[in-house]
């Protein structure tokens, strides 16, 4: 794209609100992280991905660190809101709630190649751990306490006897491992296959309610 074309494109987008502009730049940052990795993601690369000027990125985010931390918060909040919405939409019984909770990890809006790669960029950089802990630890704790409570409900309401905390940990580790597979394998399997793996895991703990295809009787 020539400089004149880029300027024309930028002019056409200047009517966006501040919030819409920042959302646009966050999406461009996710795409840049997926393509370039954490270390090579720069304000200039994000500007090129968005088709905007470097100055406009600086105006909205000032520094690379602020841009990346805002992107991390966006991804973390989007993920939390996704599984919360899935639980709210599901029937209240514990098996339905667990099924909705596990399925949410593979929602096409959340589990995309670009977003998985962006998550991998954050997880893979030791220098981002303080940033990750600062911005995501509360959401992580909320996620963990929710799945633990659901596993305890399965025991209380349906007579299962596995340790609820350990069961929740296994389910969490399996879904996290599948995400890492999907973001790192040369020829990753599809989301449906990843979800089928989760169902097999759930069936090992709750055989009267889950099978290879998910919730029994659903």
Give the CATH number, domain containing residue 42.
Answer: 1.10.10.60
Residues 54, 75, single domain; the answer is no
Residue 15, pLDDT score: 60
Residues 7 and 84 in one domain: no
Q: What is the pLDDT of residue 84?
A: 97
pLDDT in tens, 5-23: 444 455 545 566 777 888 8
38 & 87 share domain: no
Q: What is the CATH number of the domain that holds 141?
A: 1.10.357.10
Residues 40 and 92 placed together within one structural domain of the fold: no
**31 and 69 together in one domain:** no
Q: What is the pLDDT of residue 1?
A: 47
For residues 101 and 38, state if they share a domain: no
Give the per-residue pLDDT at 8: 45
pLDDT of 109 reads: 94
pLDDT tens, position by position, for the chain (218 residues)? 444 344 445 554 556 677 788 888 899 999 999 998 888 888 888 888 888 888 878 788 888 888 898 999 999 999 999 999 999 999 999 999 999 999 999 999 999 999 999 998 888 776 667 877 877 888 999 999 999 999 999 999 999 999 999 999 999 999 999 998 888 766 778 899 999 999 999 999 999 999 999 999 87
Question: Which domain covers residue 192, as residue numbers?
Answer: 65-215
Regarding whether 144 and 130 lie in a shared domain, the answer is yes
Question: Are both 144 and 206 inside the same structural domain?
Answer: yes
- What is the domain count for the chain? 2
Same-domain pairing of 55 and 142: no
Q: What is the pLDDT of residue 126?
A: 62
Contacts 24+ apart (CB under 8 A), 201-208: 201/170, 201/171, 201/174, 202/98, 202/99, 202/102, 202/171, 205/151, 205/154, 205/160, 205/162, 205/167, 205/170, 205/171, 206/95, 206/98, 206/154, 206/158, 206/160, 208/158
């Amino acid at each position: 794209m020539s400089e004149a074309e880029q300027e024309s494109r930028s002019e056409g987008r200047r009517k966006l609100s501040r919030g819409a502009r920042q959302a646009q730049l966050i999406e461009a940052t996710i795409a840049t992280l997926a393509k370039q990795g954490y270390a090579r993601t720069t304000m200039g690369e994000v500007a090129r991905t968005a088709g905007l000027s470097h100055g406009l990125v600086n105006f909205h985010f000032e520094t690379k660190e602020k841009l990346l931390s805002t992107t991390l918060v966006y991804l973390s909040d989007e993920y939390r809101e996704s599984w919360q919405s899935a639980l709210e939409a599901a029937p209240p019984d514990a098996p339905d709630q667990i099924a909705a909770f596990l399925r949410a990890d593979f929602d096409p809006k959340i589990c995309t190649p670009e977003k998985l790669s962006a998550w991998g960029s954050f997880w893979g950089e030791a220098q981002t751990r303080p940033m990750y802990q600062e911005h995501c630890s509360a959401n992580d704790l909320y996620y963990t306490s929710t799945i633990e409570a659901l596993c305890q409900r399965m025991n209380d309401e349906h007579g299962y006897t596995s340790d609820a905390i350990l069961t929740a940990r296994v389910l969490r580790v399996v879904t996290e491992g599948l995400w890492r597979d999907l973001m790192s394998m040369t020829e990753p399997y599809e989301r449906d296959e990843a979800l089928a793996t989760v169902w097999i895991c759930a069936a090992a703990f709750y055989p009267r309610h889950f099978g290879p295809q998910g919730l029994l009787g659903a």
